[in-house]
Structure 1
Amino acid sequence: MMKWIPVTLALLLSACSSTPQKTYYQLPAMSAPAQQGSAASASRQLWLEHVGVADYLAQNGVVYQTNDVQYVIGQNNLWASPLDQQLQQSLVTNLSNALPGWLVSSQPMSSDQDVLNVTITGFHGRYDGKAIISGEWVLNRQGQMIKRPFSLALTQSEDGYDALVRTLATGWQQEAQTIAAQLGRF
């Protein structure tokens, strides 16, 4: 009878432990006014050549900063597709909507196009309830290089990864609007 107690305890412990469920996140499409016009009527062309993310953001997991020096990369809260791809697709859409008269593409179009590159150094949640978005963009316009840094810290409306991803998406759309406003001046 005593020899079955360890086996019974092992079965009970294994029944209590379960593998945590993995959750996958995609940046939601934010509503924006539809752009009017066609590619033929575009007065300017913008090639969004590359959106790169820092190494710690290039992992599958959603990143959360736990204090001033520690970051956790989610093991069960994962990006549904690579973050750099999501950010690039979203930026093309948002810039297209914000820049009427421009043709914005993730593919090269012609030799006289403007070329935009973006580097993301922060795209994560933080221990104080903020969603952090930071980095810089560089525009090559007819050989002239224009470089601008950006940094946003948005307050999450509620706790959890769902709210974090929605807040990051909102912040990324805001940054796209800022980039579009600055591009419109050049």
Structure 2
Amino acid sequence: MKKWLMVLLTCALSACSSSGENKTYYQLPLAPSGAQSATTQGSRLLWVEQVVIPDYLAGNGVVYQTSDVQYVIASNNLWASPLDQQLRTTLVANLSSQLPGWVVASQPLGNNQDTLNVSVTGFHGRYDGRVIVSGEWLLNHQGQLTKRPFHIELTQQQDGYDEMVKMLAQAWRQEAGSIAQAINQMP
């Protein structure tokens, strides 16, 4: 009798432990674009100094808003690398492809560089099938400061985390396009 109890207990424990181990890792996709090379001579320089995210986004879990006031941080749907790093890397790539004649980097480029700092306040899916990307950016262009808020909502075409991450990446690319447009309008 004790043997059967031990076997049953072992099976129950192994079933519980294996159900929680199916973790999925996500990386923001980069938009397909041709590789660009640039030289610093005659180019304009932009340093994406930092992309800051709030604590609730800084963990490993993908965030999902379940009501007007509740957020869930997933324990099995995780970012493959820190979200702030992914946002910065994809922003540099997106700006590089949208700003011809510019050298865009995530490290200092010299004395005559413009700097861009972004504060992301929302980067999550929502209960109504939409994704939210919000925050503000601050550009220092030749000593002139430009600060702009952003709030993008896109509707997911399908359910699931895969679609949510793709739509978040699309919204982030869209904001990079808005930043690039603002930079291109500057003297």
TM-score norm. by structure 1 comes to 0.91
Q: Which of 18-27 and 65-74 deviates more?
A: 18-27
Structure 2 CA distance, aligned partners of 1:101 and 1:73? 40
Q: Give the distance between the partners of 2:11 and 2:107, measured in 1 at CA.
A: 57
Q: Classify the secondary structure of the residue corresponding to 1:56.
A: helix
1:49-80 Cα offsets, whole Å, 9 max, x none, are 01111111011110000110000111111111
Query: 1:14-163, aligned counterparts within 5 Å?
Result: 14-17=13-16, 18=18, 19-35=20-36, 37-42=38-43, 44-163=44-163
Name structure 2 gaps, 5 residues minimum. none
SS at 2:69's partner residue? coil
Tell me how far apart the structure 2 counterparts of residues 92 and 116 of structure 1 sit (CA, whole Å): 10
Q: CA deviation at 1:143?
A: 2.0
* Percentage of matched positions with identical amino acids: 57
- Distance in 2, Cα, partners of 1:87 & 1:51: 7
Q: CA separation in 2, counterparts of 1:105 and 1:36?
A: 12
Q: CA deviation at 1:135?
A: 0.4
Amino acid at match of 1:79: W
Q: Distance in 2 between matches of 1:41 and 1:33?
A: 21
- Corresponding residue SS for 2:94: helix
Alignment gaps of 5+ in structure 1: none
Q: CA deviation at 1:31?
A: 1.4
Equivalent residue number for residue 175 of structure 1: 175
1:38 aligned partner, one-letter code: T
Corresponding residue SS for 1:170: helix
The whole-number CA distance in structure 2 between the counterparts of 1:120 and 1:100 is 25
TM-score (norm 2): 0.91
CA displacement at 1:8 relative to structure 2 = 4.9
| Local SS of the residue matching 1:39 | coil
- In structure 2, the CA distance between the partners of 1:35 and 1:41, relative to structure 1 (3 Å rule), is farther
